Copies of this chain bind each other. A is one copy, B any other.
Amino acid sequence: MVVELISVGTELLLGNIINTNAAYLAEQCASLGLSCYYQSVVGDNAGRLGEQLQTALSRADVVILSGGLGPTQDDLTKEVAAKVIGKQLYLDENTIDRIQRYFETRGIEATENNWKQAMIPEDARVIDNDNGTAPGVIMEENGKTVILLPGPPGELVPMFEKDIRPYLAGRTNEVIYSQTVKICGVGESRVEDAIQDMIAGQSNPSIAPYAKTGEVHLRVTARAENEKGARKLVKPVIKELKARFGNDIYTTEEDTTLEKAVADLLIANDLTVSVAESCTGGMLSARLINVPGISEVYKSGYVTYSNKAKRRLIGVKKSTLDKYGAVSENVAREMAKGTAVLSKADVAVSITGIAGPDGGSEEKPVGLVYVGCFVCGTVTVRRFQFQGNRTKVRESAVSAALTLMRNCILEYYSQVTFGKK
């Protein structure tokens, strides 16, 4: 079954608000096994909205419109949809009562234009709105279905959960199941190369790569009659991806971020951690502390942007700074070591680099970053050359640091067979 989404609202065309409804509805429809090939946004304009709805009906079985059900003059989704389907509007008693109650319980007077919201297309199914005055509407006509939903997410989402999702589920005979494999420290095109053959031959399940700073996510999606069947199709593909990317996969859990994977690794091994940052100025600590429960292992963080702070707070030697410069392997090493020793942490990570726009040189260009990682006595330092603006360089450095922490800890335990230290 094919579904198409139409979001109605001039505020969307003006970019005043972000279209979160479309993302929500799209994800819901995908999880129901519905195919969606088009989404569109039109303003509160009868002519263009009517055309768009006709086009959508010509290529989809179900069209879901959101927005434009408000009480004001320029809310005309219901009127336009009724016209396209060829239905009259009538005043729905039940909806009048609900609107009446809605205002009474809030001690407000309903205004005249509120009754516009009680106008319903004939033969339509009315979906009560528990969080507002605009009811939803389901219209079925010559094998096509048009669903109207209120625009505010606080009304649309609960209405979809309670009534629309079950309605659509009852009309499909397919289920979609997805699982994501999250890879860190490997470039997008390199990941692509490694799975060319798998992507080439893919149909069901399908593999879709998504790149984010320092990470690549591979989403494996399968359709089947039931979830059990879909999971069965996904499983061998995940297994193959694990075989190909091994340790570079930090999770296959939907809600696990890279910082959470690292935090879990620290907590599981009862390793305390401290952080020293120069150019990233606290971004790495901030990401680790995104993770609820990190307080168990997080000891202290130092933002040592100046040479003086590097010396005073975490004991980097003046001679090292003078000889090699603040952005150097040696300083990254002393930062990590000093931080570990001073804060008595099992793991300490350091970042020093040139984020730009200024401060670059021939031999040390903008984007040069050294990341150091101390794990139970051993310090590893990696050199990176990142591209992009100041923000991009700093975000890349943080991802690289999280990846290095993870690798060093895994490395350490692959050698230590008799538990911690």
Interface residues of A (CB under 8 A from B): 10-20, 22-30, 36-43, 45, 48, 52, 70-74, 102, 105-108, 110-114, 130-132, 152, 154, 158, 187-190, 192-193, 196, 199-200, 208-211, 213, 219, 221, 275, 277, 279-286, 288-290, 292, 294-295, 298-306, 308-309, 312-313, 343, 356-358, 365, 367, 384-392, 394
Question: Which residue on chain B has the smallest CB distance to residue A193?
Answer: B111
**A37-B43, A41-B22, A130-B389 as given contacts; A30 in contact with B14, CB under 8 Å:** yes
- Residues from chain B with a CB closer than 8 A to the CB of A111 are 189-190, 192-193
When all copies of this chain in the complex are counted, the total is: 2
In contact, A280 and B290 (Cβ under 8 angstroms): no
In contact, A281 and B289 (Cβ under 8 angstroms): yes
Question: Which residue on chain B has the smallest CB distance to residue A303?
Answer: B301
- Picked from B196, B290, B308, B392, the residue with its CB within 8 Å of the CB of A131 is B392
In contact, B16 and A39 (Cβ under 8 angstroms): no
- Residues from chain B with a CB closer than 8 A to the CB of A390 are 290, 292
- Residues from chain B with a CB closer than 8 A to the CB of A279 are 289
Question: Which residue on chain B has the smallest CB distance to residue A275?
Answer: B303
Complex: A306 Cα to B343 Cα, angstroms: 12
In contact, A13 and B42 (Cβ under 8 angstroms): no
- Residues from chain B with a CB closer than 8 A to the CB of A277 are 282
In contact, B41 and A15 (Cβ under 8 angstroms): no
Instruction: Determine how close the nearest CB of chain B comes to the CB of A196; give it in whole angstroms.
Output: 8
In contact, A13 and B41 (Cβ under 8 angstroms): no
In contact, B43 and A40 (Cβ under 8 angstroms): no
In contact, B292 and A357 (Cβ under 8 angstroms): yes
Interchain residue pairs A-B with the least CB separation, the first 6: A282-B282, A301-B303, A281-B289, A15-B27, A15-B26, A282-B285
Question: Which residue on chain B has the smallest CB distance to residue A25?
Answer: B15
- Residues from chain B with a CB closer than 8 A to the CB of A286 are 280-283, 286, 394
- Picked from B20, B72, B285, the residue with its CB within 8 Å of the CB of A18 is B20
Question: Which residue on chain B has the smallest CB distance to residue A304?
Answer: B300
- Picked from B14, B210, B308, the residue with its CB within 8 Å of the CB of A16 is B210
Complex: A10 Cα to B131 Cα, angstroms: 32
